[in-house]
Structure 1
Amino acid sequence: MNVAVPRETFPGERRVAIAPAAIPGLVKAGLGVFVETGAGTQAGFTDAAYTEKGATIVQDRADLFRMADIILQVRTPGANPEEGSRDIELLRPEHVLIGLTDPFTHPAISRRVAETGATLFSMELIPRITRAQSMDALSSMATLAGYRAVLLAATHLPKMFPMLMTAAGTITPARVFVIGVGVAGLMAIAQAKRLGAVVEAYDVRPAVREQVQSLGAKFVEMELDAKDSEDTGGYAKAMGEEFYRKQRELMARVVAANDVVITTAAIPGRKAPVLVTRDMVESMHPGSVVVDLAALTGGNCELTRPDEIVDHNGVTILGPTNVPSDLARDASQMYGKNITTLLLSMMKNGALDMNRDDEVVSGTMVTHGGHVVHPRIVECLEQCYE
């Protein structure tokens, strides 16, 4: 069986589905590996680096798809709706396509993939179980996003993060407030602490208090009824608008007291809740920075504009939508480990065994046999066409 790694075509995407280091494991499993020329260039991987590890470089994308049994991508057509439509035309029933699919934003694209007969697996749908931790691409990319968010804030903040005692006087430390304590939030807390900031954090899930405190940050207490605030996968659930209204009222004073606010609250398949209002931004002192990691799904800050830098009364609001791409080399290595672990878990005696009794297989399979088979995406499609 042959594995193909195409060059990513989404505008600004610098990642590649696998780094050269992942190739020997695929070859050992009896797979041929074919990489489109230039696929890893923007992540710092040359064609020669791939060939040295056992891959074959292919010049023509259509030829690559013809050779392939399994196609590994960072962004499949669902996560690349414009440029990715050209790849749909290259799919055939024998293909197995694995990658990020943005399944709930563009469910109709999953239907188009299903019509080709190809089998599609979504990396966003990896179940949060112990066995699948090494396949969890969302956590890998969130780790990078949390790290990078702090560096972006430090770059735009007109002061240093650490406290310094100097001959010219004492420089007070920056104050950082992290909203949302998932993987990205925890990494943001750790990075801000490493840079010397005073860090506070808040999450709707009280259970994360110990994790925040273990990193040396203060957990902000808010007297809110947050029962059933966590889903079965460990993610924060969407709450009602009345809850968010009370939350914003209590959060306003904390936002005003901080130099940097980093928001990470995203709900899979839903618009991001607005947690930082215009009034809150206007209460921050000039020079403060908001980094909104939920910009792709509407933003946690009312004033966020995706992929733009907004200056509102001297407060800088950043809305990056593809932060891991800025760290393309490490992102590709981490994502490559995730995607190849998923693939190799389905390999049995040199063949692909897509056993749908396996929780990982059934949880990530979106299309198969000409149909959309994932229940949540089927439901989403039904709602779209009601």
Structure 2
Amino acid sequence: MAAHIRVVSQAPNQNMLVGYPGISATLPRLEGKVEIRPGTGVSAPVTISTVTVSLWRRESIHPSADSLTKKHLAAPRKEVVEIVGEKRLLYQAPPGKESEIVYAMDLPFVLFIPVGRGGEETARRVPSASLQLSSRTAETCYEIVVWVQQGTIETKTFHCPVPITRYDTLSTFGMYNRPESAERITDHLVTLGINLPRWSYGPLDPVSVYIKLAPNPDWLKKATRATINKITISIEEEVIYNHEGDEPTRKTKTLARTTQAVGIKLGEQGYFTTLGLVFPARDQRDNAGILPRGKNAFPMYQVSGFTTTASLYKIEYYLTVKAHMQSAKDILLRQPIVVCPLDHARCKEEMEAIEQAAKDAAMINPDNPMLPAPTIIRTQDWNALHVLGMTMVGNTRKPLIQ
């Protein structure tokens, strides 16, 4: 008979994802339970041979999907589907039996998410975060896939979407809070230098940059005649589609920009200033102010995208500083930055939880995670129908009244 399959978390009202993907000390994993019940009728027994569970990643790109004119003329959507980690065998019929006839099965499982150890092969990479860009130009989603073999008749599959977020780009980590400096010279007259106090940002985080324009001491007389017309800073998002292929496609979009009018000569001492802007956040509410229902496979981010590298695409961000000069060439400097899906305040809130998750993970052995015992109710078990809320009254099945 047909089987009804569903995947649930082991504890009610808790997330199936335990730990923090991207942070190996928290041992990120999916903990849940596969429930199998009769699919037709109230108490029709089910034939089960094997049950396996695994996590799959589905990635796709269509760079021209955001253009109505190019969408139908360009190449079709490119898609990659691959397994993440290892497939787990939850149940197999005893030796000598092709299958068993059961009324119910509860099979606990744990799927460990790779943490980047043991090489760069696909199965060991830290998986990229779930993401869907506008018009589905690029997307990554995950799902738990359960295979149920029912004798030699049929194999049923069940797909359960699981949103995954990465936490290794939090702006509160020390590696992102050290100053970053860079310099650029377009010609031999003027040097543009910048300094960033930190270089990881989230939605509505302030972005400040210290800017220095200095004359070349070897050409001091000519350099001091140069006039600084204005200075522009902007944040750019660059999406590289098919970045590992033969023909990568790059699309750059300016997310925010601010300009400061200067209109003075450089002078011997140079010119110093600090400019800032706010990293843009996406308004998740519609025109009526209503928060739409989220999609099961994708978390609701307040940014359109964030720093990530997937198999088919890569998203990078740059802080661009341009000095518009007179009597000297304009100077353009692009400094890479990291964009986190969480703002700085939420990153701080997560730090304590990450520390606690790391302490909890230290007690777990990945080779033997000590799962609860599976529950299998066979047709020949005593009072087997009770698990389905049924009982036998004489030769008739009746609803069980406690």
Q: TM-score, normalization: structure 2?
A: 0.25
Rg comparison, structure with higher value: 2
Greater share of strand? 2
